[in-house]
Amino acid sequence: MKINNKEILIDGLDKIILRALMNDARKSINEIAKTAGISGAAVHQRLKKLEQAHLISGSQIILNPKVLGFKTMAFIGIYLDKAIRNTEAVKQLEKIPEVIECHYTTGNWSVLIKILCKDNEHLMGLLNHKIQSIEGVSRTETFISLNQQIKRQIQI
């Protein structure tokens, strides 16, 4: 790994290690070491360096929301009456557990959020009672996802 103008250049061994963990974050360092043809200590050192360089930002368990009853995914474009209201609006959106992503965007909307709901009634309740009641929200535009067809990380 080399750092060049705040960009990280990773080598072939880094790619082997990262791909193994991206496929299965629970894979042991020893298994990865065997695949990469290096020692477990070397894998561990490379992982530490990649973490310190902020290329790896963590590991997580990914839950299947449908198993928990969250069957409706929607994207909501939020129009704010004034751009200065963004910070406070985002603070209010953070209080809504169903909001799983929030993006400050260019274009027509001030903010784009991704939410998970149990069903369309749940979505309507969130829109009417929580999201549209946030001070500064002038209107919303909602898109319901019928099926997520691609989900992946950046290729290395």
- Tell me, what CATH number does 90's domain have? 3.30.70.920
Residue 61 in any domain: the answer is: no
What is the percent of the chain where pLDDT is above 70?
100
Give me the domain span that covers residue 37.
2-52
Whether 41 and 106 map to the same domain: the answer is no
- More confidently predicted of 103 and 58: 103
User: What does the pLDDT read at residue 67?
Assistant: 97
Element counts in the chain: helices (H) and strands (E)? 5, 6
Percent of the chain with pLDDT over 90: 87
Looking at the fold, whether 17 and 45 belong to one and the same domain comes out as yes
Please give the tally of structural domains in the chain.
2
The b/e string for 86-111 (b: 16+ C-beta within 10 A; e otherwise) is eeebbebbeeeebbeebeeeeeebbb
CA-nearest of 76, 83, 77, 75 to 136 is 83
Residue 154 lies in a domain: no
Has residue 1 got a pLDDT over 80?
no
- Both 90 and 136 in a single domain? yes
Same-domain pairing of 48 and 76: no
For 39-91, what is each residue's pLDDT tens digit?
999 999 999 999 999 999 888 888 999 999 999 999 999 999 998 999 999 99
Based on the domain organization, do 86 and 141 belong to the same domain?
yes
CATH number at residue 46: 1.10.10.10
Residue tagged 């103008």 (tokens): 5
